[in-house]
Amino acid sequence: QVQLVESGGGLVQAGGSLRLSCAASGRTYSIYAMAWFRQAPGKGREFVAAVTWSGGRTSYANFVKGRFAISRDKVTNTIFLQMNSLKAEDTAVYYCAGSLEGDYTEANAMDYWGKGTLVTVSS
């Protein structure tokens, strides 16, 4: 029903910046919110940021507030994650996800997932 494709990951030095993109296609009108999650080796998938599609309300994990910003472009059906002041502990596979309902900060509540894009932050 909904396809999500991430891009923009790569290698960056600590303190640097990256912008991730997630292009949505299919029945995107059914999506209530879109979010970014991440998963580091040996760790569970954790919430990073989310934005409601219609209203643009944003939510952030505490560990990224002031450093990351999520946004959406309704014309191109794309969400972005601008990541600044990156730290080594930000290294992870970043996943784009979509939620049909109001719970969008728990990984097991998301309805659609991209395949992920790897972000590596060098110390």
Q: Is 39 exposed, middle or buried (0-12, 13-18, 19+ CB in 10 A)?
A: middle
Are residues 49 and 64 in contact, defined by beta-carbon separation less than 8 angstroms? Answer: yes
Residue 103 pLDDT > 90 = no
Q: Quick check: 39 pLDDT over 90?
A: yes
Q: Which residue is it, tokens 């944003």?
A: 58
Segment 77-88 mean pLDDT: 97
Between strands 10-13 and 117-122, the pairing is parallel
Sheet arrangement for strand 78-83: 2-7, 18-26, 78-83, 68-73
Rounded percentage of the chain residues whose pLDDT exceeds 70: 100
pLDDT at 59 (0 to 100): 96
Given a cut of 90, whether residue 23 has pLDDT beyond it is yes
